[in-house]
Amino acid sequence: MAEFDYDLFAIGAGSGGVRACRVSATLGARVAVAEQSDLGGTCVNLGCIPKKLFVYASHFRDDFEDAAAFGWSLGDRGFDWPTLVANKDREIARLNGVYRGLLADAGVDLIEARARVLDAHTVEVGGRSITAANLLIATGSEPSVPGVPGAEFAMTSDQVFHLSHLPRRAIIVGGGYIAVQFAGIFHALGVATTQIYRGPLFLRGFDDDVRNFLASEMRERGVDLRFEADVASIEKVPGGLRTSLGDGSRLEADAILYATGRLPRTRGLGLEEAGVALDEKGAVSVDAFSRSSIPSVWAIGDATDRINLTPVAIHEGTCVAKTLFGGVAVKPDHTAVPSAVFSQPASGTIGATEAAARDTYGEIDVYRSTFRALKHTLTGRDEKTLMKLVVDRASDRVVGVHMVGADAGEIVQGFAVAVKCGATKAQFDATLGIHPTSAEEFVTMREPV
């Protein structure tokens, strides 16, 4: 590979790109990465990390309200949005520095400029051409906003983390992760929140019991959920923004957040001109090893629009590095990927939904439990928890675990190991619970519904 400047040149220093570069460098490759924005990509700067910090902040409202039931007396309290944003920014800056250090320690050359693909082995970056035996596209994704009249008055998740002040009234348009999470964040911080989704129920692709249960719990908390509704237009009015819905009704708010999906960030990279096949969304079409239609060009993460989760991008980046420089071809494994929606209450899932399991296995058993957590026997809250197991009847394997309730992400992460290892319902039943916890319900459900 001496005829090239590098063995691997990556475009994008998000979680996936950084992992691919670091592993490749430790395997002896000469590696460089170009990044035109902050290191760490969407997750660190405009996604998972700041979102979770905002979720933590929003939980204090319930904690303060519940404290009296446990004997605590609290004085005056208030919330200051600029303080939260400033503290979040400080942590993100720290993580940017961590990523910079990881690349430097691995011996990866970082070029902080926009890169563009010229051909199968050449990129233009910072006004010069650089060659590499292999190119890696790890540019992530960006928010997509429908072209409704007045859409320019709305914000996306790229702007919401930097609002100068917290709105009194907010409208959130969309039914995916981001929309559901910010509906919970805004509402818990005291914002009068309406979520609008054009479909009959949000979180398409999740288990139907999870979707229905979460919608009920959010409405119980006071979030105004409007399904089978869509925004026809947005206009500025004195004191805020007005949305006109498809049914002719109108809503007013101080801020409107569009969270209607994301598209691969591949525009203007020169990929099509270089002969790299893209799909209708602009995602790089790749094979099972993440190789594009050009053998020397690879792609991972949201740029491929497979499973758009940070751990998946990291896994794909590791596999590409090992395939190229580790002496063995490694396919990323996209089966039984756990995920969580940090809604309020939170949702966690691993494996098949009930509907998907019926299609795949035919005969299944479903175990479902709803209950009020021990904590709320004192607080008096009517908040419920949902836990659900989906079992392939023929093999007795647990093929799906679903939960809505406090700490769902933390709990389901542990059970993801069991599902990945092919644990059976009998093995779940033979596992002793930790009492008293909510998690023990997963190993004490005995009767299928």
Assess whether 16 and 120 both reside in one domain: yes
Assess whether 70 and 139 both reside in one domain: yes
Assess whether 181 and 222 both reside in one domain: yes
Residue 311 within any structural domain of the chain: yes
Residue 448 within any structural domain of the chain: no
Residue 193 within any structural domain of the chain: yes
Out of 234, 260, 286, pick the residue that ends a domain. Answer: 260
Residue 1 within any structural domain of the chain: no
187 in active site? no
Amino acid type, 418: A
Burial track 82-101 (b if 16+ CB lie within 10 A, e otherwise): eebbeebeeebeebbeebbe
Assess whether 121 and 71 both reside in one domain: yes
Assess whether 235 and 128 both reside in one domain: no
Out of 325, 360, 375, pick the residue that ends a domain. Answer: 325
Domain of 118: which CATH number?
3.50.50.60
Assess whether 376 and 256 both reside in one domain: no
Out of 217, 245, 260, pick the residue that ends a domain. Answer: 260
Per the CB < 8 A criterion, the answer to whether 173 and 258 are in contact is: yes
| pTM, full prediction | 0.96
Catalytic option among 187, 334, 402, 435: 435
Q: Which domain holds residue 242?
A: 151-260
Residue 227 within any structural domain of the chain: yes
Token pair of 189, please? Answer: 């911080």
Domain of 438: which CATH number?
3.30.390.30
Residue 192 within any structural domain of the chain: yes
Per-residue pLDDT of the chain in tens (449 residues, 90 and over written 9): 469 999 999 999 999 999 999 999 999 999 999 999 999 999 999 999 999 999 999 999 999 999 999 999 998 999 999 999 999 999 999 999 999 999 999 999 999 999 999 999 999 998 999 999 999 999 999 999 999 999 999 999 999 999 999 999 999 999 999 999 999 999 999 999 999 999 999 999 999 999 999 999 999 999 999 999 999 999 999 989 999 999 999 999 999 999 999 999 999 999 999 999 999 999 999 999 999 999 999 999 999 999 999 999 999 999 999 999 999 999 999 999 999 999 999 999 999 999 999 999 999 999 999 999 999 999 999 999 999 999 999 999 999 999 999 999 999 999 999 999 999 999 999 999 999 999 999 999 999 99
3-class SS letters over 136-167: EECCCEEECCCCCCCHHHCECHHHHCCCCCCC
Assess whether 78 and 160 both reside in one domain: no
Residues pairing with 400 in the sheet: 351, 390
Residue 348 within any structural domain of the chain: yes
Strand-pair category, 31-34 with 109-111? parallel
Residue 330 within any structural domain of the chain: no
